[in-house]
Structure formats: C-alpha cells, structure tokens
Structure 1
Amino acid sequence: MIVISAASGALGRLVVDNLRARTEVVAVVRDLGRAPEGVPARHGDYDDPASLRAAFDGASRLLLISSPELDPSRKTRQHLAAVAAAEAVGVGAIAFTSFLGAGTVATGMTEAYHATEQAILDSGLPYTMLRHPFYSDAFVPRISGGELTGSTGGRGLNTAFRSDLAEAAANVLVGEGHLGRAYDFTGPLWSHPEVAAALGVTYREVPDTGPGPMSWINGLVRAGALEQQTPDLERVLGRPAETVVSRLLGRRTP
C-alpha cells in the first residue's frame, strides 16, 4: 500500500492519478471532503501528529509531500512530525518532495527541506529524496499586445511542470532501484527571449518593480541561480520532460 500525504493539493492529486491504476494507493488529506475521488482516503493533519500515525500505518511506501506553509519554523515542525510518525509506525520507505539545494544548504528556501532530509536520514528509514525546482506552471509567460516582457535578464530557468514531477514521483514509488538516492530534478532550460523567438513575438526586458516573492525570484534568475541542469528528471520519467515552449504551442490558437 502506497500512502500519499497532502493528497488534496495540486501535486498530490496528480500523483494519485498516476498511481490509481498501477497499485493500491491511499490519499491522506487534512479535509476528507477534499480528498481525491476513486481511492481510499484517511485524515492526516501535519499539525496533528496522532492523525499522521494513524494515516501512515501500514504503508509500504510513503510520499511525504512538503507542506505549503511559508513560515520555515512551522514548516519544519510539520515535516519533522510527519517523519516521526512514519518512523513510529514503521513505514517501509519514504520519498520526500524536497527542494533543489536542500542537501547542502540550510538557509532561505531550503531551511525546512534541509532539516527534513536530515530527519529522514536520522530515522533510518529507507528513503528517496525528490528535490524539485520551481514549478513551470507558475512561470509560463503571458503574451500581451504581440510581445513578451520579463525581468530575468534573458537568463535560463530550470523549472519543471507539476505533471512531470508527479509522474516521476509515481515512478519512484512503484519502481526499483530508487532507495538511498537523492534526485535533483530540473526541467529543460528555457529563457524568455527563447520563448518569444519560438512564438514569433517580440521580447522586451522591463524593470523589475513588482513587490513580493516574484521580484526576489527574478533576481535569482538574473544571477544565474536557476540554470543548474541534471539528467535526473528525464531518467526517472524515461522520456524528455515537457518544455515551456511546447506547453505554450499546445495552447496557442491559430
């Protein structure tokens, strides 16, 4: 039995969809009213350790999907509670959706993920780390007035679509040879000027004046921090990952 935590979220639902015809899968959700249809569901709340122990009991493999919590300290507490619950009930193996860089860096975006990876290693449970990049779903450029604008300095992004990351997670959960490994998943490198050229529109760099996290992320892109590339995602998928250009061309109307 494979158990998927946070299964009512966007990634969790995609993983369940990938697994439902391949193996016995149980969805763990905070609100049973939002559970994916067609599979058994259990209540499990990252803020309620007892509920997690009951939800994870009997799992041959557990996919621990990271909490959407933004506060690093609370996110860490939630993850550590989930790892402790998995250890307490003796799950067969745990796969964790971590973040790129979490294996070596414990600051900023990676703080909670790094702490969780260490807790999993300390637990002694068989494991697989699935280190994700940013999701392409949130970065697909929008074209307005026949042009594409951006504040990335033309640098590359290694984002990947949730659908590919979900399929990769499902392959790990039902496949062999993944235990004891850490995968650094990156999507095909792309840039805003390349997308504009592929779509036959003009690209224009604009000042990055927007507040909030996107401005911070744009700064990372301009510094080249999102240009890391590995073959891990393609290898686990057994095929090339979807590109941003192909997604845009697929949606484009004549």
Structure 2
Amino acid sequence: MIIVTGASGKLGGAAVRALLETVPAERVGVLARSAEKVADLAAAGVRVHVGDYEDPASLKAAFAGADGLLFVSGSDVTPGVRERQHGNVVRAAAEAGVGHVVYTSAVGADRPDAPGFLADHTVTEGLLRDSGLPVTPLRNSFYSDSFVNPAVVGAAIEAGETVAADGGRPLNTATIADLARAAAVVVAGGPGEHAGRAYELRGPLWTYDELAATIAAESGRPVTHRRIPLDEAGDLAFLGGLISSGLFAEPSDDLAALLGRPATGMPELVRAALA
C-alpha cells in the first residue's frame, strides 16, 4: 500500500493521479482532512483516510501497513507550525514501520543557513534521517505555475512589461504536474531504487528577460522586462531576495531523469497560458 498525504492539495492530488497510471487503485491510499474533497479518488477505488498533521492518532492509523509514503509538506508556514506537524508525521511513520518515506522538501534544504520558511525543510529532513526509516527527499523548486500563468501573461501583455526584483538571475522553477509525476515515480519505485538519495527537482533555467521576450514573440504584442530594486518589491521582496541570491540559479537534471523526458520549460507555459 502506498499512502499519499495532502491529497486534496494541488501537488498531492496531482501525484495521486500520476500514481494511478501505473499502480492499481487498491494499492493506493490517501490522507485528507475532508473525505468530500477527495470523493473523486474514493470513486476511483482509492482508500481514503480522514485525518491531519495535528492528529497523531489519525496519522498512525493511515500509515499502518504502508510500503510507501509520499509525505507532502504542510502548507502553513507560520513559524513553528510545520516543525510540530512534520514531527507528528515522522513519528507516526516510524511507529507504523513505513517501508519508504518520500518527502516533498525544497531547494536549499541541505544548507544549514536555509532562509525563512525553507529552514522547515532542513529540520524535517533531519527528523527523517534520525528516524531510521528509508527516506528520499525531493528538493522541489518553486512552482513555475505561480510565475507563468494566464493571469501573469495577460497582465504583462496589458502593461507591456513584466516587473520583478530578480537581480538578473535565472530561475529553475518546475511545474506542479512535473513535480507530482516525479514524486509518483519515486514512491512507486520503492526504497531499493531510491532510498538514501536526495533529488534536486528543478526545471530548465529561465530569466525574466526571456519571459518578456517570449510573451512578446508568442502574443505579437510589445512586452519588455523592468527590473526593480528589492526596496520597491513590497510583499514580494522576500522572494526577490531569494532569486537575487542565486538560490534558484543552480541547474539539475534530476527532474528530467525521473520523468524520462525534458522538464516543462517556460516557453511551453507561455504558449499554454495564451491558449
């Protein structure tokens, strides 16, 4: 049995759907806070466990007998929350004797000075290592879908520009669909193939200048990029700081290798957004 947590979320839900392409539904279970939100998965034959990261008993019950666990990181980045919740998940997995834990970590989690909420992943990877369980961290980049989507592309065409405090650095973002499919590949592959490894899951590098040029070329409308300093970025200053630091400038072929094809790039997303 393979259990996927966070199945009502975008990444977890996409991972379950990818998993069902190769694994029989009766071998797949999900953990969700609401059965109603995963009714489609139940209808497909997937076993549904209702529970959450704040309820250790529900976690242990859901993980009982699991050969594999796709542990999708919590979404609440309030300081201290993920550390507590993730600790509950790791302890429950250890008590249940889960055969292999695949954790959706983040780029930079291997650094002792990981900034801000990314440090939660550093802590969780440490908890997993100390648990003695076979573990595979997936160090996901930020979602390309947040940077390139119909709303962003439409706004850029309307304004004739993209605006970001990017420092001229490239980004290695990846799509939710690609990250979900890679996670499904790893958890279905089992510990023999993947335990003890950490995958750096990143898409092809792109820059905001390339994004603006691609939007212009594909739409036939003039679009340029305007680079702004961090002190003008407002609520996005933290993200701009991460990009400017080069955190998202490091390439990796791990995602493409797991997918068995090139990861989805920015030009494909622009064309999809315009379509």
TM-score interval, smaller chain:
over 0.9
Match of 1:205 in 2: 226
Deviations 1:198-233 (A, max 9, x none): 233331315353432x22111222332320111111
Task: Summarize deviations over 1:4-24 as a string: whole Å, max 9, x none.
Answer: 011111101100110123212
Amino acid at match of 1:119: L
Moved more, 140-149 or 32-41: 140-149
Q: How many residues align?
A: 252
**Secondary structure of 2:179 counterpart:** helix
Structure 1: gaps of 5 or more residues? none
After superposition, what is the alpha-carbon deviation per residue over 1:116-156, rounded to whole angstroms, capped at 9, x for unaligned?
Answer: 11111111111111011111111114322443333323321
Q: Give 5+ residue unaligned stretches, structure 2.
A: 217-221
Contact 2:164 2:233 (C-alpha < 8 Å) held by counterparts: no
In structure 1, the partner of 2:135 is 127
Are residues 1:79 and 2:102 paired?
A: no
Q: Quick check: 1:17 aligned with 2:17? A: yes
Q: CA deviation at 1:173?
A: 1.1
Contact persistence 1:188–1:243 (CA under 8 A): yes
Of residues 133-142 and 164-173 in structure 1, the stretch that sits farther from structure 2 once superposed is 133-142
What is residue 77 of structure 2 aligned with on the other side? 70
Backbone CA RMSD of aligned residues: 1.7
Q: Distance in 2 between matches of 1:211 and 1:149?
A: 12
- 1:228 partnered with 2:250: yes
Give, as a single letter, the amino acid of the residue that structure 1 aligns with 2:257. R
Q: TM-score, normalised by structure 2?
A: 0.86
**Structure having the larger proportion of residues in helix:** 2
Instruction: Specify the alignment match of 2:52 in structure 1.
Output: 45
Cα drift, residue 36 of structure 1? 5.1
Kept in 2: contact 1:159–1:189 (CA 8 A): yes
SS of equivalent residue, structure 2 residue 198 = strand
Write the letter of the residue equivalent to 1:211.
G
Q: 1:1-254 counterparts in 2 under 5 A?
A: 1-23=1-23, 24-35=27-38, 37=40, 38=44, 39-105=46-112, 107=114, 108-140=116-148, 141-142=152-153, 143=156, 144-175=158-189, 177-200=193-216, 201-207=222-228, 209-212=232-235, 214-253=236-275
C-alpha separation in 1, matches of 2:39 and 2:145: 21
Offset, 1:195: 1.7
Structure 1 length normalisation: TM-score? 0.93
Distance 1:100 1:204 in 2: 26
Tell me how far 1:72 sits from its aligned partner.
Answer: 3.2
Q: Hey, what's the Cα distance between the residues in 1 that align with 2:102 and 2:269? A: 28
Larger RCO of the pair (alpha carbons < 8 Å, separation 6+): 2
Q: SS of the counterpart of 2:36?
A: helix
Distance 1:114 1:150 in 2: 28
- Alignment partners' CA distance in 1, 2:53 and 2:36: 17
Contact 2:186–2:194 (8 Å) recurs in 1: yes
- AA in 2 matched with 1:42: H
Instruction: Output the CA distance in 1 between the equivalents of 2:209 and 2:110.
Output: 32
- After superposition, the C-alpha distances for 1:29-73 in whole angstroms (9 at most, x for unaligned) are 012221251222101210010110001111110011000011231
